[in-house]
Copies of this chain bind each other. A is one copy, B any other.
Amino acid sequence: MKTQINWGIIATGGIARKFAEDFRFVENGTLLAVASRSQDKAQHFANDFHIERAYGSYEALAEDPDVDAVYVATPHDTHVELSKMCLEKGKAVLCEKPMAVNAAQLESLLDTAEKSGIFLMEAIWTYFMPVVRQAKKWVDDGRIGNIKMIQADFGFKTPENPKDRLYNPALAGGALLDIGIYPLAMAHYFAPGEIADIKASAIKADTSVDQTLGMVLTYDDDIIANLTASFRFQMENAAYVYGDDGYVKIHGNFWHPHKAVLMKDSGIEDIVEDDRLSTGYDYETNAMTQWLLEGKKESPVAPFSWSRKSVETMDKIRELIGVKYPFE
């Protein structure tokens, strides 16, 4: 029986570096290989993180018989193709969000996963954060009564640069897919019901993708989610779950938070704090490593049904705000 999972990383950008840095906190896993389309870049990355194998093509990494699981950290528009390639070669896949840029793409990927019987998970790292899990436990334990509203904002400032991936429609750019997915993930995490209605407004960049978003989701159990996202300005980036008997505030940046408080009329009733040394990618990596060792085929925390809900919500919002990618 396997006791150790060998990981590979596809891509060498900023998020891949953070993932590799956090790997020192992963148990029962080894970061064995990294791949770039450039052998130099791969080798440089491998040197930085003491990774044994550096590949100058993604295919080469996927062919490595010693690699068990692959983290796909390329731009959005390539996720489906590369994840499929890895699954077809028998590698478990942790794919960055959004795993697919629309529902049709996602179904084609899930089809491959189901046919191959290989583990595939969308990298919604926020769900694995200790602070977020404690916030969920408070809510599930009824500490704030019945959920009434969820609020979450993700705003940071980046210059309006049409050459930036974020602004490029051909690379599935825009605030929604890149960061709006996090406030939406908060809503999906805390609102148990089906989405009954969605309202959304966007400010577009000159490249026609959304740069600022306001979204209101209504659920069939009368919960409202009020969400925003922008890459044109910095926000406080807290998330709130409001109940009829108190609320939980997850302090900014809520997608990898260090603190949450449980508020009642009388003031703060409970606090959870996280003094981790990692950025926080290690939690999802540890969880997936464990599930692979246990022989699981799907993530209990972010199953295929979660990815479906996520992408279908974003498809609907893009329809409402009129953002269509050239490849669609």
Chain A positions within 8 Å of B, measured between CB atoms, are: 148-149, 151, 153, 155, 157, 197, 199-201, 203, 212-216, 218, 222, 224-226, 228, 230, 232-236, 240, 242-244, 246-247, 249, 263, 265
Contact = CB atoms under 8 A, between A and B. Distances in A.
Given A199-B200, A201-B218, 7 more contacts: A149-B155, A149-B214, A149-B233, A151-B153, A212-B222, A214-B218, A235-B240
Contacts of A228: 149, 151, 224, 226
B242 A148 contact: no
B214 A226 contact: yes
Nearest to A145: B233
Contact of A214 (B153, B224, B234, B246): B224
Q: How many copies does the complex hold?
A: 2
22 contacts: A148-B212, A149-B228, A157-B244, A197-B201, A201-B216, A201-B218, A201-B224, A203-B224, A214-B216, A214-B218, A224-B228, A226-B226, A226-B228, A233-B242, A233-B243, A233-B247, A234-B246, A234-B247, A235-B247, A236-B247, A236-B249, A236-B263
A214 to B, nearest CB: 4
A203 B218 contact: yes
A212 B149 contact: yes
A140 to B, nearest CB: 18
A216 B233 contact: no
Contacts of A201: 197, 199, 216, 218, 224
A136 B97 CA distance: 38
A228 B201 CA distance: 15
Nearest to A156: B265
A84 to B, nearest CB: 37
B153 A230 contact: no
A245 B53 CA distance: 44
A218 to B, nearest CB: 5
Contact of A200 (B149, B213, B216): B216
Contacts of A213: 224
A226 B227 CA distance: 8
